[in-house]
Structure 1
Amino acid sequence: MHKKRKLAAILGAGLSPLFVLGLSVTPASAHGYISDPASRQAQCAAGVVECGSIKYEPQSVEGPKGLQDCAGGHDEWAELRDDNKGWNVANVGSSATFNWKLTAAHRTTTWQYFIDGKQIAEFDQGGEQPPNELSHNVDFGGITGKKTVLAVWNVADTANAFYACVDVNIGG
């Protein structure tokens, strides 16, 4: 009887770390992307453009704050960086409204919009939790032509941000 208890204890001790690790590994429930005009990851999810695994989780383009990267620093989503992939380009005027769909609305510091590495707009959320859907009207300040807008959602309580790129033809 003593040998069975000892074997059970050894098995339990050996398997418990695996059990704990298994419980702590959860799929991303993350987080948000621009749905209109359709961001690159939204186009992937809708099957408009053939992409890799990002089509299954367009809301998950998360990476360290401060990047200028459509893929949020993830090589597995490198297709989001490919300007020649055949992205649909939205014709917009001198300003456009960007509609975010959030699947996990984190407390937020700011929302930033960039063209060619230059910040063109910022919206301060003040550390508050946004609603599940929100919009920003961005004035392009005289910029015209085909451009890629990089939108950045800076989360308040982590070192990360969410990234979305939208291809637009300003004044088109």
Structure 2
Amino acid sequence: MIQNVHVQAPRRLSLKPLWIFLGSLLLFFLVMVITANTASAHGYIESPASRAYKCKLGENKNCGRIIYEPQSLEGKGNFPTGGPADGQITGAGIFTELYEQTPTRWSKVNMNGGPNTFKWVLTAPHATSDWKYYITKKGWDSNKPLARADLELFCSFNDGGKRPPNTVTHTCNVPNDRSGYYLILAVWEIADTGTPSITSST
């Protein structure tokens, strides 16, 4: 799931505000949920609000049909080896409007560097392999659709096949060595289906 967020570094570091773009593609904006083609696992990041969830709330415009189903941002799984093609990650290879990327296209969320809590709402929980959180690298080009080479993993949780509750929260240390506009992608990898898929939220 991807989200647009404004992340600020701790004051003691005297860094400029950090914008994290999660495109409901995760949590904020770029949050990806990995589920299966045969048994969809639906979910999105509610807080900080993902790109898709902000579409449902009306804070993002011209989003297409995702406004009715932010929990359905799903595609092929096993990210980053598998999953949507580069340039289609934020729309999970399905929701084309969410592929768009410019510095001003999506509503952003303010965040601070350091510990941040991500809250998932799962409408169809499934046995889970793991959860992964990525952030765009320093120097990424915010005028181009998201690609794997733009991302680095900064937080992960292994669920070992357990079935999660309908609400899941994770606390992750968002890198505090960035300032400006960045994107966060969250990935939910499903364990109980043969062909996992990805659901993005910011």
| TM-score, length basis structure 1 | 0.72
The equivalences for 1:69-80 within 5 A come to 69-74=89-94, 76-79=95-98
Which residue number corresponds to residue 187 of structure 2? 152
Unaligned runs of 5+ residues in structure 1 are 1-27, 166-172
Tell me how far 1:73 sits from its aligned partner: 1.4
Tell me how far 1:147 sits from its aligned partner: 1.3
Which residue number corresponds to residue 16 of structure 1? none
CA RMSD of aligned residues (A): 2.0
Is it true that 1:138 corresponds to 2:149 in the alignment?
A: no
Tell me: CA distance 1:152–1:48, structure 2 relative to 1, closer, same or farther (3 Å): same
Tell me how far 1:85 sits from its aligned partner: 1.5
Query: What is the distance in 2 between the residues matched to 1:62 and 1:100?
Result: 14
Given that 2:56 and 2:67 are in contact with CA atoms closer than 8 Å, whether structure 1 keeps it comes out as yes
Between the two structures, name the one with larger relative contact order (CA 8 Å, sep ≥ 6): 2
Given that 2:54 and 2:107 are in contact with CA atoms closer than 8 Å, whether structure 1 keeps it comes out as yes
Q: How many residues align?
A: 137
Choose which of 24, 43, 46 in structure 2 pairs with 1:32: 43
Is it true that 1:121 corresponds to 2:155 in the alignment?
A: yes
Is it true that 1:99 corresponds to 2:143 in the alignment?
A: no
Tell me how far 1:132 sits from its aligned partner: 0.2
Query: What is the distance in 2 between the residues matched to 1:78 and 1:119?
Result: 25
Which residue number corresponds to residue 169 of structure 1? none
Query: What is the distance in 2 between the residues matched to 1:57 and 1:30?
Result: 13
Query: What is the distance in 2 between the residues matched to 1:93 and 1:109?
Result: 27
Query: What is the distance in 1 between the residues matched to 2:117 and 2:91?
Result: 22
SS in 2 for 1:63: coil
SS in 2 for 1:120: strand
Tell me how far 1:71 sits from its aligned partner: 1.1
SS in 1 for 2:66: helix
The equivalences for 1:9-20 within 5 A come to none
Choose which of 82, 88, 102 in structure 1 pairs with 2:101: 82
Is it true that 1:64 corresponds to 2:76 in the alignment?
A: yes
Task: Out of 144-153 and 59-68, give the one that drifted further.
Answer: 59-68
Task: Out of 45-54 and 85-94, give the one that drifted further.
Answer: 85-94
Query: What is the distance in 1 between the residues matched to 2:100 and 2:190?
Result: 22
Tell me how far 1:142 sits from its aligned partner: 3.5
Task: List, as ranges, runs of 4+ consecutive aligned residues in structure 1 with deviation greater than 3 Å.
Answer: none
Is it true that 1:49 corresponds to 2:74 in the alignment?
A: no
Tell me: CA distance 1:151–1:124, structure 2 relative to 1, closer, same or farther (3 Å): same
Unaligned runs of 5+ residues in structure 2 are 1-38, 137-150
Tell me: CA distance 1:107–1:95, structure 2 relative to 1, closer, same or farther (3 Å): same
